[in-house]
């Protein structure tokens, strides 16, 4: 029955997208056969007034009708232009995560259930909501800190959002499985794996203790950084469904007129924003991955304060070195080195030719060197780079896609503040400093130290590895002699799972088909 319910919800979502003109706005003229027939049919069922809107507006209206979980789906897919395409990713990135507020009484109940204490014992004053998004809303409140009443921001999970999201998640998984099964060309995009990533990231975002931990970690990383910080966390008043943090007094970065009235140097703020982001990415390998201007405040002294750390990105040492070397390679026009870095990182399969890959990279780099520095977009460079790597079978790297998406947003904010913003000149001190410290003699010494530690750890595990090797050798000998066999229970379980999967897929397809026929009959 779960698959039947998921099928109905999926059919409803498809119908809403059709009626709001989202399907009709897609470039269907390039299609052929049954997909083109479906696109033409969708145009017939589109609301007439929807045809007057731009595609991004149609998408926004459809998502609002579908509910909070679809807002989150849209925001997630905005980070995956490899899946939905660059144009659609830009439209999705424009979705405003603004929802209606829910009653204060429900917020109070959620806080008291999560923390096991009365709101009156936790806060001197607990006010009405000041902002609401798809997963949570924020209240202004006051709490006693060191004997002084201090203003705080209290973020509370939206009631019922987990249940609704996981119901809709069944529909997403059904759509992903059907896509993989019936559209072979989509399998390289790994739709089921993409859906699993969405499920995991949203689970994390719906546990406000984890957001508090991310704020705490970023706060420790940036405590000595000039001009950037995050709000401090009140751990005593933080739980799974509630996050209490320092109240931020400042001007939102999307309020350009307000920043100018406050006397801020917009060029300095733009430079500080980019350098802070690159510092977090290269130095710490941990960055705020949702740095749109609504999440950024500027305090009276010019310090940038970043809030809403529900989405964070991490880069390992290999990924950080990869990023720094490709940026440095483009700056110095060393395209062969950029290509070699891709192969050394294991991102491009070895069967491809390094020189041929370097030639493709040169096609990206040379036009850039003919432009003024202030017109060159680092985010655009990474976008073109990832497009070229698809030709060489580079597997999807979610951590790099998230980095690219965040860089697009951050660079866009910087150019809003300073239209003549020179990304390369601003980034050079951070990128150059990291390269000098990590790819020069000092970096070689650090690598040698890390290698020695790894060898020591391996030596300690040698007896256990030898025992495992001996067991594996004996099992391989037995397998060679008797063949690979499943026990009766395993074989029965595999057959049962396969039958259930096939049956569920057929039931879901029939449900969707019957629902669409019913809708068409009602309209006609």
Tally Cβ neighbours within 10 Å of residue 181: 13
Could you identify the residue written with the tokens 């040169």? 362
Q: For residue 449, give both structure tokens.
A: 């130290």
> Is pLDDT above 80 for 304?
yes
H helical segments located in 20-67: 33-45, 55-66
Asked whether residue 451 carries a pLDDT value surpassing 70, the answer given is no
Q: Which residues pair with 157 in a beta bridge?
A: 136
Pairwise CA distance, residues 101 & 453, whole Å: 53
Q: What is the pLDDT of residues 113-159, one digit of tens each?
A: 999 999 999 999 999 999 888 889 999 999 998 889 999 999 999 99
Mean pLDDT of 222-238: 94
Which has more pLDDT, 100 or 55?
100
pLDDT at position 1:
43
Q: Which residue out of 91, 234, 241, 290 is catalytically annotated?
A: 290
The helix/strand/coil state of 23 is coil
User: Is residue 499 pLDDT above 70, yes or no?
Assistant: no
| CA 91 from centroid of its chain's CA atoms | 15
CA distances from 507 to 169, 214, 500, 521 (A): 18, 42, 10, 21
Catalytic residue check, 290? yes
DSSP letter at 297 equals E
Sign of the dihedral defined by the CA atoms of residues 353, 359, 363, 364, in that order: positive
Nearest to 385 by CA among 397, 371, 372, 374: 397
Give me the chain's average pLDDT, please.
80
C-alpha distances in Å from residue 160, one per residue of 72, 96, 129, 206, 424? 15, 21, 18, 11, 46
How sure is the predictor about 379, in pLDDT bands with cuts at 50, 70 and 90?
low
Q: What tokens were used for 309?
A: 């750390």
What pLDDT score was predicted for residue 2? 59
């Amino acid at each position: 029955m779960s698959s039947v319910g998921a099928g109905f919800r999926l059919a409803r979502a498809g119908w809403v997208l059709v009626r709001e003109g989202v399907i009709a706005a897609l470039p269907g003229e390039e299609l052929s056969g049954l997909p083109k027939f479906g696109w033409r049919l969708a145009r017939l069922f589109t609301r007439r007034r929807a045809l007057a809107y731009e595609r991004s507006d149609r998408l926004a209206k459809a998502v609002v009708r579908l509910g909070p979980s679809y807002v989150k789906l849209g925001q997630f897919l905005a980070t995956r232009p490899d899946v939905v395409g660059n144009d659609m990713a830009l439209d999705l990135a424009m979705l405003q995560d603004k929802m209606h507020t829910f009653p204060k009484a429900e917020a109070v109940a959620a806080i008291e259930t999560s923390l096991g204490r009365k709101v009156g014992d936790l806060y001197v004053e607990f006010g009405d909501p000041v902002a609401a998004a798809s997963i949570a809303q924020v209240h202004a409140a006051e709490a006693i800190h060191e004997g002084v009443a201090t203003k705080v921001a209290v973020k509370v999970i939206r009631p019922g959002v987990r249940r609704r999201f996981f119901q809709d998640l069944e529909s997403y998984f059904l759509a992903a499985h059907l896509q993989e099964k019936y559209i072979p060309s989509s399998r390289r995009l790994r739709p089921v794996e993409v859906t699993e990533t969405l499920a995991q990231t949203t689970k994390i975002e719906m546990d406000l203790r984890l957001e508090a931990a991310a704020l705490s970690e970023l706060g420790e990383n940036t405590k000595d950084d000039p001009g950037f910080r995050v709000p401090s966390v009140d751990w005593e008043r933080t739980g799974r469904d509630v996050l209490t943090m320092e109240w931020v007094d400042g001007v939102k970065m999307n309020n350009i007129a307000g920043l100018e009235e406050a006397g801020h140097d917009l060029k300095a703020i733009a430079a500080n924003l980019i350098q802070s982001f690159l510092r977090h990415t290269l130095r710490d390998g941990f960055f705020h991955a949702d740095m749109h201007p609504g999440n950024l405040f500027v305090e009276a002294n010019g310090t940038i304060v970043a809030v809403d750390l529900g989405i964070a990105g991490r880069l390992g040492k290999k990924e950080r070195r990869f990023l720094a070397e490709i940026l440095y390679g483009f700056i110095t026009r060393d395209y062969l080195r950029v290509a070699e870095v891709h192969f050394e990182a294991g991102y491009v399969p070895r069967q491809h030719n390094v020189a041929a890959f370097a030639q493709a990279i040169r096609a990206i780099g040379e036009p850039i060197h003919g432009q003024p520095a202030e017109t060159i977009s680092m985010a655009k460079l990474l976008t073109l780079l990832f497009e070229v790597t698809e030709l060489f079978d580079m597997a999807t790297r979610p951590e790099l896609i998230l980095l690219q998406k965040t860089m697009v947003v951050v660079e866009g904010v910087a150019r809003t503040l300073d239209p003549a913003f020179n990304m390369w000149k601003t980034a050079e001190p951070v990128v150059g400093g990291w390269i000098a410290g990590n790819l020069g003699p000092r970096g070689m010494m650090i690598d040698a130290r890390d290698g020695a530690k790894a060898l020591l750890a391996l030596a300690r595990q040698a007896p256990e590895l030898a025992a495992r090797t001996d067991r594996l050798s004996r099992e391989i000998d037995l397998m060679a002699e008797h063949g690979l066999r499943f026990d009766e229970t395993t074989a029965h379980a595999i057959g049962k799972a396969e039958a259930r999967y096939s049956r569920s897929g057929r039931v879901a397809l029939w449900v969707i088909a019957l629902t669409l026929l019913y809708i068409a009959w009602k309209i006609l």
